[in-house]
Chains A and B, each alone.
Chain A
């Protein structure tokens, strides 16, 4: 059984919140989701299968040399930040 409080906890762990009515909709949706998820575990001997995390074994993984190549300017690095001072992103004081 998934409660609204559990859903709120899952959302808050990912650092966002939802409206009360949105949690209610989600709780109803979880009834279907949990039944769908039950389809995953219903296989004999599934525990012996190695979980797959990538489509196929990659033999040609490309690593570049650890040297500086492409750089962006300080202005570029900061151009999408909304609050900048002295070439740094300004945030609230951490230590009062």
Chain B
């Protein structure tokens, strides 16, 4: 096994014993990134040279990692996987990158994402489609597609992504790895290219829960450049993972998870995914965790996806108004400044992104603001209030991350089906309420990975991590490397 396929603890031990140097680790990660690039397209940029290490005393010093290409890195190309930013080189560092640099972590490259992080499939980046390392004919999910592929392939032990609806937790599930989105504000968003500011989170991809705890420990904390960032809670997450979870209470949503709902459904992957979910619940109960079935209004659940699309597209429309190609980005042609901006945006955005912007524009038309935009905000409050009410009794909820395995690239999806509207989009609850939320692997269906998700109360990142860590220990799917890694 190569070093970059190991856990952070194992790599740390080898570094400390002098069995390997950070230079050798960087070279190993870099060579792998280059080797897998033509098959999986995980990277926009692979660095030629290791950055200078600033600190040699943290758990992450000398450890290689990758950053999603919508996180600002001074002097290193940062494209957000969009043509409009294909030559953009930032002049400042994102806080998350600065903290990792200061901790001595070693950046290997910048990962492909869905253009401007606005997509969930990993196929819309300007440098091409990201493929699933378990099966090249399938997508890995997005928007943190390249980040998930890089971790699943064992190129790096961790990667930093962003999660606005499920953009870290869904690709983690499709890639057989761990995706952790901490409480909103736990990690500063300064330097993350905004998609939908009220939903955006920096989030972490690893191959086991303890590694996610280590990385979160390093990058969390209040930041004077992000007024929404939270004061450090002072907890060392990796040290509390084994705290007792006996007596904790979780629920799952009946309308999503109960097999009775799918009696007439002939989607065998969906049925097997849910059966495995329920088998896992038995193991969760063996830990002394109580798990109950709870009912939530189906109509409210069906409104999650449209409410998410409404809020995110409207916020994105506003956030991306700065992409005009004058002071940075793709330069347009024209006789006036307006014509130049119009040309830059017409040429710089792909069709899929334009569709989302048009939707945002439609939602923000005066005649639609009350019916769509404000009602979506009301739906958001209704579901968050409902979950917070349940959190008076329960410490969190546990759900299948998706209704199945990663789809094939050409798979047709019925976007009005309950599977699409509820099973594939319940993770947005975590963004609506800012709840800490983690995906861990839950085995395989048709030789493709599936995941489960645990979401807890705001500020209780430590509890969510310790529940996930102990379930992970029961399941035996940690530290998985995808089949595509040779």
* Least Cβ–Cβ distance between A27 and chain B, in angstroms: 10
Within 8 A of A (CB), among B330-356: 331, 334-342, 345-346, 349, 351, 354-355
Chain A, residue nearest B378 (CB): A49
Within 8 A of A (CB), among B60-119: 87-89, 91-92
Residues 20-54 of A at the B interface (beta carbon under 8 Å) = 22, 25-26, 29, 32-33, 35-37, 39-43, 46-47, 49-54
Complex Cα distance, B197 from A88, in Å, reads: 31
**Cβ of A83 and Cβ of B331 under 8 Å apart?**
yes
Assembled-state Cα–Cα distance A64/B229 (Å): 12
A68 at the interface (CB under 8 A from B): no
User: Given the known A-B contacts A40-B372, A49-B381, are A16 and B299 also in contact in the complex, defined by CB atoms under 8 Å?
Assistant: no
How many A-B pairs have beta carbons closer than 8 Å: the answer is: 174
Min distance, Cβ A84 to any Cβ of chain B, angstroms: 10
Say which residue of A11, A53, A72, A94 sits within 8 Å of B91 (CB atoms). A72
* Chain B 353-380 near chain A by CB (<8 Å), digits 1 or 0: 0110111111001000001101111111
A51, chain B: closest CB distance, angstroms: 3
- Helix, strand, loop or mixed for chain A's interface? loop
* Contacting pair B341 A15 (CB below 8 A): yes
Judging by beta carbons under 8 Å apart, are A16 and B357 in contact? yes
Cβ contact within 8 Å between B349 and A16: yes
Q: Is the CB of B358 within 8 A of A56?
A: no
In chain A, what residue has the closest Cβ to B201? Answer: A55
By a CB distance below 8 angstroms, the chain A residues around B479 are none
In the complex the two chains form, is B358's CB within 8 Å of A37's CB? no
Q: When each residue 432-449 of chain B gets 1 if its CB lies under 8 Å from chain A and 0 otherwise, what string results? A: 111100000000000000
CA distance A91 to B227 in the complex (A): 34
Q: Can you list 21 A-B pairs, Cβ within 8 angstroms, ordered by A?
A: A2-B362, A14-B317, A14-B357, A18-B354, A32-B415, A33-B359, A36-B305, A37-B372, A39-B302, A40-B306, A40-B310, A43-B382, A51-B374, A60-B222, A62-B222, A63-B227, A80-B87, A80-B329, A89-B326, A91-B340, A94-B336
Q: Is B296 an interface residue (CB 8 A)?
A: no
Is B17 among interface residues, defined by CB-CB distance under 8 A?
no
* Complex alpha-carbon distance, A49 and B185, angstroms: 25
Nearest opposing residue in chain A for B374, CB measure: A51
Contact mask for chain B residues 302-314; partner A; CB cutoff 8 A; 1 contact, 0 none: 1101110110000
Identity of the chain B residue whose Cβ is nearest the Cβ of A19 in the assembled complex: B351
Interface: B245 (CB within 8 A):
no
Residue from B324, B337, B357, B377 in contact with A53 in the complex, judged by beta carbons closer than 8 Å: B377
B224-246 vs A: 1/0 string, CB under 8 Å? 11111111000000000000000
Give the interface of B toward A (CB within 8 A).
87-89, 91-92, 184-185, 198-199, 222-231, 299-300, 302-303, 305-307, 309-310, 317, 321, 324-329, 331, 334-342, 345-346, 349, 351, 354-355, 357-362, 365, 371-372, 374-382, 384, 415-416, 421, 431-435, 458
* B380 in contact with A52 (CB, 8 Å): yes
Q: A55-B433, A61-B228 are in contact. List 13 more A-B contacts (CB 8 A).
A: A11-B361, A14-B321, A36-B309, A39-B303, A40-B379, A41-B371, A46-B375, A46-B379, A49-B382, A51-B375, A55-B384, A91-B326, A92-B340
A78 / chain B contacts, CB cutoff of 8 Å: 327
Give Cα A76 to B75, complex, Å: 10
Residue contact B224 to A62, C-beta cutoff 8 Å? yes
Contact between B354 and A22, CB atoms less than 8 A apart: yes
A58 at the B interface (CB under 8 A): yes
Q: Are A54 and B342 in contact (CB under 8 A)?
A: no
A interface residues (Cβ-Cβ under 8 A, vs B): 2, 7, 10-11, 13-19, 22, 25-26, 29, 32-33, 35-37, 39-43, 46-47, 49-56, 58, 60-64, 70, 72, 76-83, 89, 91-92, 94
Q: Nearest-CB distance from B5 to chain A (Å)?
A: 36
In the bound complex, do residue A81 and residue B326 qualify as a contact, i.e. CB atoms below 8 Å apart? yes
Q: Which 8 A-B pairs have the closest CB atoms?
A: A55-B434, A51-B377, A80-B328, A52-B381, A10-B361, A16-B345, A82-B331, A49-B378
Query: Across the interface, do B222 and A43 meet the contact criterion of CB distance under 8 Å?
Result: no
- Tell me if B317 and A56 are in contact (CB < 8 A): no
Pair A14/B361 contact, Cβ less than 8 Å: yes
A11 to B361, CA, bound (A): 7
Chain A residue numbers with a CB within 8 Å of B227 are 61-63
Contact partner, B458, options A49, A56, A83, Cβ 8 Å: A56
Complex contact A55–B317 (CB within 8 A): no
- A14 and B358 contacting across the interface, CB-CB below 8 Å: yes
Contact check, A52 vs B345: say whether CB atoms are below 8 A apart: no
Cross-chain contact A92 with B421 (CB below 8 angstroms): no
Within the complex, the shortest CB–CB distance from B210 to chain A, in Å, comes to 26
**Are B354 and A52 in touch, CB under 8 angstroms?**
no
- The answer to whether A55 and B361 touch across the interface, beta carbons within 8 angstroms, is no
Point out the residue from A15, A56, A70 that lies within 8 Å of B345, measured CB to CB.
Answer: A15
Q: A40 to B92, Cβ gap below 8 A?
A: no
B contact residues around A18 at 8 Å (CB): 346, 351, 354, 358
Known: A16-B346, A40-B307, A55-B198. A89 touches B327 (CB 8 A): yes
Which B residues lie within 8 Å of A15 (CB)?
Answer: 324, 338, 341-342, 345
Contact present for B416 and A35 (CB under 8 Å): yes
> Could you tell me the distance in whole angstroms from the C-beta of B195 to the nearest C-beta in chain A?
15
User: Are B365 and A51 in contact, with the CB atoms below 8 A?
Assistant: no
